[in-house]
Amino acid sequence: MFTPDDFKGETAQRLQVIIMNRMSKHPLTNFKSMMEHEKKKFNVSLSQYIAELPDDWEGKILNDFNNACNDEIFNENFQAEQHPPLLINTDIQLLPKEEPI
């Protein structure tokens, strides 16, 4: 059906949003900021969710993720300033000059 490698990258981020939403937490809650007992509940909930995934698990995850985003994040009550990014890249990058056409 699937392998642990299937649950890395974007899929892992989507799963975190889905499970936070199912736990009645804000979907953008940082797992590392949670208390130990909350992390255990999160892991149990995540395991149950994965065990219940259908054969079209990618579609199910994407659908649940989109629903969580639309219902809990992208609405009129969302305040972006309360959810700073986890990583800000401050490396200087030189952009090449555009040459005239």
pLDDT digits (tens, 9 = 90+) for 16-74: 999 999 999 888 888 888 999 999 999 999 999 999 998 889 899 999 999 998 887 77
Which contacts (CB < 8 Å, 24+ apart) does range 22-29 have? Answer: 22/49, 26/72, 26/83, 27/68, 27/69, 27/72, 27/73, 28/73, 28/83
Total domains in the chain come to: 1
Let me know if residue 63 belongs to a domain: yes
Q: What is the pLDDT of residue 1?
A: 61
What lies within 8 Å, CB to CB, of 71 at 6+ separation is: 21
Let me know if residue 19 belongs to a domain: yes
pTM (whole model) above 0.85: no
Domain extent, residue 44, equals 10-26+35-72
| Amino acid (1-letter code) at residue 6 | D
Let me know if residue 43 belongs to a domain: yes
Let me know if residue 14 belongs to a domain: yes
Let me know if residue 90 belongs to a domain: no
Let me know if residue 64 belongs to a domain: yes
Give the integer Cα–Cα distance in Å for 71 and 40.
Answer: 25
